[in-house]
Amino acid sequence: MLFWIIAAALVAVIALLFALALLRGRGEDEMAPAASYDVQVYRDQLRDLERDVERGVTSREEADRAKLEISRRMLEADRKAQAGSDLGRAPKGATIAVVLGVVVIFGGAFALYDYVGQDGYEDQPIGVRLADADKLYDSRPSQAEAEKMAKARATAPQSNPDPQFLALMKKLREAVAKKPNDPKGLELLARNEATLGNFDAAWKAQQRLVATKGDSATAQDYAELGDMMAVAAGGMITPEAEKVFATALTMDPKNGLSLYYVGLMMLQNGRADRAFRFWDSALRNSENSDPWVPMMRQNIEELAWLAGEKDYTPPRPRGAPGPSQADVAAAADMSPEARQDMIRSMVERLNDRLAQEGGSADDWARLISSLRMIGEVDRADAIYGEAKGKFGSRPEDMAKIDAAHQAPAGQALKDMGGASAGQSAPQAAPALPGPSAQQMKDAQSMTPEERQQMIQGMVDGLFDRLTTDGGTPQEWARVISSLATLGENARAKEAWGEAQKALADNPDALAQVEAAAKSAGVAE
């Protein structure tokens, strides 16, 4: 409050000085008093002249001539006095403009400070803020202390679970107590304790599960342990939970759940700049359905601004929706021309979305490679130039875009036209083997596991044929990309090695396969 009183007093003093300057003016103090004094002198001279005539010192004729000259000078002095009085005050319009200017300047200053300032705060240079962030980080409570504080803050009443579920939980706890090293029992116990809201018991069961699994514990096992610890601590990332997430990220640097929580920890301790890097990576490595994605997407642009990132475009999470079952069913009954039109429409939708909303480097790379594959090389080149301007300062993103730009170029899907009678139309590139219409129909009734097995079988068949009999560069590129998509990087690398042997005498064909291998991350 003291700050606002002092600020208001200073503004009042400055405004008063402005007002005095406007009211007083400069001619009223300088020009008008001097001219008025001259008028008075000339009047005194006229009276003295009349007395001289009466005493006979001056003749009437001389007195009249002198009186005429004095009167002329007196009129001139009076004119100057009037002019000085008129110049002393500023015009009314100027006065109003100055008053409005003062109000806008000082009112704007108060409004700006009220928006971005904080009275009572000392200066906050970057060094002090970083030191404060380090203090926050070092003074975090332990897991036990954080859980105790979280329970003290809890105000919502516990829900009343189903009695039958509670009875089952009692049996589950007894079973785990009898077999404390049973991974399946520990997994069920951790999950169901979390469902009941007993997160302290849940993370302890998950911790025992991780210890029981030993070297076979995955990064996701550790990430879920850290998740339960964070929830039990009321959302605070304690030093114990941080170590768990660090272990998960050591095992899998792209684990989205761990990246999210480490970023949240940085945010809790005043390091929004570091939080941005973790959340940006988490968005790039998370699925659309992951529960932490909406919260990150809501705040990532503000974090980017705090981190000094200009023109930041949030990446789209992985797992962008593909064709629906209805699309697959429709495609199965389409003619080749209709299917090609459908592919074109999907490419155009991606192009329109990137033009209107922007997107990640993966989206731009997919558009470039898709345009090249359908034969629109010129458009792909133009979009590649646009992508270079957008992602040129990010080597990792540019590597994806460069690889897409080097992808094999296919034949245009529609007749190019313009061939003369003596010219043969350009021959279409050989079609790559894919699922038949019957296979596509059968896939609709499969479970996700069965569908995955079908895809795996097709890829394995193509891999075996290529390594035994060889094939086209497009087939080699396809099997490498498919294996990498399925997570079989070792076999994708093996396929790239076999392709190098098979196509050693054909540099152009090998270059097409190399582009796919680089895009899959199995070639340098």
Ordered DSSP codes for 98-133: HHHHHHHHHHHHHHHHHHH--TTPPP--HHHHHHHH
Q: Which of 90, 116, 142 is the last residue of a domain?
A: 116
Q: Which two tokens stand for residue 290?
A: 């992951």
Q: Which two tokens stand for residue 358?
A: 């922007």
For residue 448, the surrounding DSSP H or E stretch is: helix 448-469
Name the percent of the chain in helix, strand, coil, to the closest 5.
75, 0, 25
Total of domains in the chain: 4
Q: Which of 405, 432, 454 is the last residue of a domain?
A: 405
The CATH number of residue 277's host domain is 1.25.40.10
Q: Which of 244, 273, 306 is the last residue of a domain?
A: 306
Residue 235 lies in a domain: yes
Q: What domain range is 497 assigned to? A: 446-520
- Residue 214: DSSP 8-state: G
Residue 224 lies in a domain: yes
Are 383 and 465 in a shared domain?
Answer: no
Residue 441 lies in a domain: no
Q: What is the pLDDT along the chain (524 residues), one digit of tens a residue?
A: 677 788 778 878 887 877 777 666 544 444 456 666 777 888 888 888 888 888 888 888 888 888 888 888 888 877 877 765 555 555 666 667 777 877 788 788 778 877 766 666 666 666 777 777 788 888 899 999 999 998 888 765 566 778 888 888 899 999 999 999 999 999 999 999 988 888 999 999 999 999 999 999 999 999 999 999 999 999 899 999 999 999 999 999 999 999 999 999 998 888 888 999 999 999 888 887 788 888 888 888 888 888 888 778 887 655 554 444 455 455 555 666 666 677 777 788 888 878 776 777 778 888 888 888 777 888 888 899 888 888 877 777 788 888 888 766 654 343 333 333 333 333 333 334 444 444 444 544 555 555 556 667 777 778 888 888 888 887 888 888 777 766 777 888 888 889 898 888 888 788 888 887 887 778 77
Are 350 and 283 in a shared domain?
Answer: no
Q: What is the pLDDT of residue 124?
A: 61
Are 299 and 197 in a shared domain?
Answer: yes
Q: What is the pLDDT of residue 333?
A: 58
Q: What is the pLDDT of residue 425?
A: 32
Are 230 and 196 in a shared domain?
Answer: yes
Q: What is the pLDDT of residue 239?
A: 95
Question: What is the distance in angstroms between the CA of the first residue and the CA of the last residue of the chain?
Answer: 64
Instruction: Collect all residues with Cβ–Cβ distance below 8 Å to 31 and sequence separation of at least 6.
Output: 80, 81, 83, 84, 87, 88
Are 80 and 21 in a shared domain?
Answer: yes
Residue 126 lies in a domain: no
Are 285 and 349 in a shared domain?
Answer: no
Euclidean distance between CA atoms 217 and 226, whole angstroms = 14
Euclidean distance between CA atoms 192 and 332, whole angstroms = 43
Are 183 and 254 in a shared domain?
Answer: yes
Contact 244, 225 (CB under 8 A): yes
Instruction: Collect all residues with Cβ–Cβ distance below 8 Å to 73 and sequence separation of at least 6.
Output: 38, 42
Q: Name the one residue in this structure whose structure tokens are 């991350």.
A: 521
Contact 266, 287 (CB under 8 A): no
Nearest-5° Cα angle at 347, 342 to 350: 130
Euclidean distance between CA atoms 150 and 197, whole angstroms = 13
Going by C-alpha positions, the residue among 141, 158, 294, 156 that lies closest to residue 230 is: 141
Identify the sign of the CA torsion 113, 116, 121, 125: negative
Are 278 and 343 in a shared domain?
Answer: no
Are 273 and 334 in a shared domain?
Answer: no
Residue 85 lies in a domain: yes
Q: What is the pLDDT of residue 419?
A: 34
Are 289 and 350 in a shared domain?
Answer: no
Residue 130 lies in a domain: no
Residue 108 lies in a domain: yes
Residue 139 lies in a domain: no
